[in-house]
A = this chain, B = another copy of it.
Amino acid sequence: MGTAEETAGGEAQAWGEVTPDAARRLLIAAVEAFAERGYHATTTRDIAGRAGMSPAALYIHYKTKEELLHRISRIGHTKALEILRTASRREGSARERLADAVGSFVRWHAGGRTTARVVQYELDSLGPDARAEILALRRQCDDEVHAVIEDGVASGEFDVLDVKGTTLAVLSLCIDVARWFNVDGPWTPDEVGALYADLVLRMVGAGEPAPAQK
């Protein structure tokens, strides 16, 4: 299932692909600010300040404040899709693939909570075009999970009443981790990932037949 990864320390993670160094610093500053206070409550002066630059510097690298959110959303959703795709298309039974998908998806939401929060909850602040683009990525995420669940039903591993509704519930459960997860709380991202994988297998009727409690 692969242990935590970007879970570690500073959560600086995959922003390496953002190329001018100053642009990356601004982007990371924006992620932090958006996650803490929300897109609309964050000022461009705040973002620039966190990156150690003057307010005007932001506009050398990004056309508007919205472009920052758009870039963050696209990178984040691409990463999320990659995580789900890797798990759902690997070798193994539907049961294993679903547990892997949920486990790694949840670990990403818990460990990279700052990023995940922006990616999952600030979508409505994008303009129509940008939002449409991101929603297309999101639909692909849904499709990956849907396919695994359908595989499991077809193979008889799962017992599901409403495949579409259950898919939605599974994704919803994972995504909401970004809302409540607290780094100072009682769980590590790995623990939540394992718990959620178990819960989701139960939801699709493929839970262990009661593993002797605890």
Mark A residues whose CB is within 8 Å of B. Answer: 37-38, 40-41, 121, 124-125, 159, 161-162, 164-166, 168-169, 172-173, 175-177, 179-180, 186-187, 192, 195-196, 198-199, 202-203, 205, 207, 210-211, 213-214
Contacts and interface: CB of A to CB of B under 8 A. Distances in A.
A162 B195 contact: yes
A203 B195 CA distance: 11
Interface of A is mostly: helix
Contact of A168 (B166, B169, B180): B180
Nearest to A168: B180
A169 B173 contact: yes
A121 to B, nearest CB: 7
Contacts of A38: 38, 40, 124-125
B159 A213 contact: yes
A98 B79 CA distance: 36
A214 B153 CA distance: 12
Which A-B residue pairs are the 10 nearest by beta carbons?
A: A40-B40, A176-B176, A172-B176, A40-B41, A165-B195, A202-B202, A199-B203, A173-B173, A159-B210, A202-B203
B214 A196 contact: no
A205 B205 contact: no
A195 B161 contact: yes
A205 B207 CA distance: 8
A37 to B, nearest CB: 8
A93 to B, nearest CB: 19
A18 B124 CA distance: 30
A213 B161 CA distance: 6
Contact of A173 (B176, B187, B205): B176
Contacts of A207: 202, 205
A205 B198 CA distance: 11
A165 B173 CA distance: 12
A180 B174 CA distance: 13
22 contacts: A40-B41, A41-B125, A121-B121, A159-B210, A159-B213, A161-B198, A161-B214, A165-B192, A166-B195, A166-B199, A168-B180, A169-B195, A172-B180, A173-B173, A173-B176, A175-B176, A175-B179, A199-B203, A202-B202, A202-B207, A203-B203, A205-B210
